[in-house]
């Protein structure tokens, strides 16, 4: 499979900055999970890390980092996302895109809106490609069957989440990423292949959704 990174969003030629990211954890719903994005000037990657607590909410829980403000990336010329993973604990993570952000509620809290999610279990290290077809529309963790297509001309938010999947994982987590980029296939046949990894290590893609899940952050 041939492919190349087309545009760095974070990392690579676009230096990581803590000002670009903020936490969105289950504490907004009374939980106790917490996440941070640690960026060291001595390294070329960012660490998504924290603790996923599932006891407070009775088996549910989530911890996530998402981009700040409202962005507007036009990714319509590309075929998916690429992550260069430096190190992983082999837990199941969720990559999230949003093409719509709603006005805040009167009390200042964010309103929930549709999210496009791809569940990924990283094993080892390497460059991972996630094609657009791997992202599934969800609303508060439930898959939406009649959603409009993802508007790739106007991606407003990106997030990384660790969640419980009904108590199947919990505790400390750590995912180190060198960069996140838009990716374009070099060959036409590459555009329709499934999720792949381009260097050492491997990836386990789990795109089935927990239909009854209500444990997701407002990203």
Query: Where do the domains of the chain lie?
Result: 6-183
6-11 mean pLDDT: 90
Q: What's the CA gap between 212 and 157, in Å, rounded? A: 24
| Three-class DSSP category at 191 | helix
pLDDT at residue 113, as a whole number: 87
Q: Within a 10 A sphere around the Cβ of 56, how many other Cβ atoms?
A: 15
Average pLDDT, the chain: 83
Q: What's the CA gap between 133 and 150, in Å, rounded? A: 10
pTM, full prediction: 0.83
195 pLDDT band, cuts 50/70/90, is very low
Q: Lowest-pLDDT range, 10-14, 66-70, 173-177, 209-213?
A: 209-213
**DSSP character at residue 112:** P
The kind and range of the H/E element at 179 are: strand 171-185
Q: What's the CA gap between 27 and 61, in Å, rounded? A: 9
Give one DSSP letter per residue of 36-100, joined into a string: EEEE-TTSS-EEEEEEE--TTBTTB-EEEEEE-S---B--TTS-EEEEEEEEE---EEEEEEES-
CATH of domain 6-183: 2.60.120.430
Position 213 pLDDT exceeds 70: no
205-218 mean pLDDT: 35
31 pLDDT band, cuts 50/70/90, is confident
Position 115 pLDDT exceeds 70: yes
Instruction: Give me Rg for the CA atoms of the chain.
Output: 16
Q: What's the CA gap between 23 and 64, in Å, rounded? A: 6
Question: CA of 206: how far to CAs of 136, 172, 180, in Å?
Answer: 11, 21, 20
Query: How confident is the model over 51-70, as pLDDT tens digits?
Result: 999 888 888 889 999 999 88
89 pLDDT band, cuts 50/70/90, is very high
């Amino acid at each position: 499979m041939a492919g190349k990174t087309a545009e760095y969003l974070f990392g690579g030629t676009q230096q990581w900055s803590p000002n670009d990211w903020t936490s969105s954890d289950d504490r907004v719903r009374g939980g106790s999970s917490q996440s941070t994005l640690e960026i060291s000037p001595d390294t070329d990657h960012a660490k998504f890390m924290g603790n996923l607590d599932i006891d407070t909410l009775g088996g549910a829980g989530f911890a996530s980092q998402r981009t700040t403000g409202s962005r507007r990336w036009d990714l319509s010329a590309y075929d998916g996302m690429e992550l260069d993973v430096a190190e992983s604990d082999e837990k199941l993570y969720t990559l999230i895109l949003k093409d719509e952000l709603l006005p805040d509620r009167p009390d200042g809290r964010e309103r929930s809106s549709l999210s496009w999610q791809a569940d990924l279990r990283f094993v080892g290290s390497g460059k991972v490609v996630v094609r657009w077809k791997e992202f599934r529309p969800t609303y508060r963790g439930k898959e939406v069957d009649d959603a409009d297509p993802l508007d790739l001309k106007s991606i407003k938010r990106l997030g990384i989440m660790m969640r419980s999947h009904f108590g199947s994982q919990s505790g400390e987590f750590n995912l180190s990423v060198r960069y996140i980029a838009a990716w374009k296939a070099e060959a036409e046949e590459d555009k329709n292949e499934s999720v792949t990894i381009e260097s050492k290590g491997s990836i386990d893609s789990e795109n089935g959704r927990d239909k009854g899940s209500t444990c997701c952050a407002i990203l």
